[in-house]
Amino acid sequence: MRIELTRFRVRDGAQTKVDEWMEFLNANQDAVRETLEPEAMYVETIFHEVVDGVSFLYWYSVQGASGQSVNNSEHWLDQHHIAFWEECIDDTYPGEDLTLRVHMLPQRVAAAMTPLAE
């Protein structure tokens, strides 16, 4: 199991597009769920923060080891995700992985989170 929390900076002027994408994801949860199983994604959560006028997105994920990369997916939603990423995420500012210090999860929940592919 891989647990990550990574911060990405939003490109200047892209916040409106980010907001639209987040609304789209919230409105299309069935399609989102279709992409999770092939990725062996147990949990994927996106947070937003503004620091000194700069917008950041934080991706929190819990993923199995055998998951397919979004870059290898043919699902239409993942194709839109890649286009969103290229348009809105500032590639001049490298993503920053926060350091996991403690992971707490009841065993029964961990057991229930094992994807079908593992």
**Cα 99 from chain centroid?**
17
- What does the pLDDT read at residue 116? 60
Cα dihedral sign, 69-38-59-17: positive
CATH no. for 2-112 = 3.30.70.100
Q: For all residues of the chain together, what is the average pLDDT? A: 90
Give the residues of the chain that fall short of pLDDT 50: 117-118
Instruction: Spell out the domain ranges in the chain.
Output: 2-112
- What does the pLDDT read at residue 51? 96
- What does the pLDDT read at residue 40? 85
pTM for this model (two decimals): 0.86
Quote the Cα angle for 11-16-52, to 5°: 55
- What does the pLDDT read at residue 64? 84
**What does the block give as tokens for 110?**
């961990």
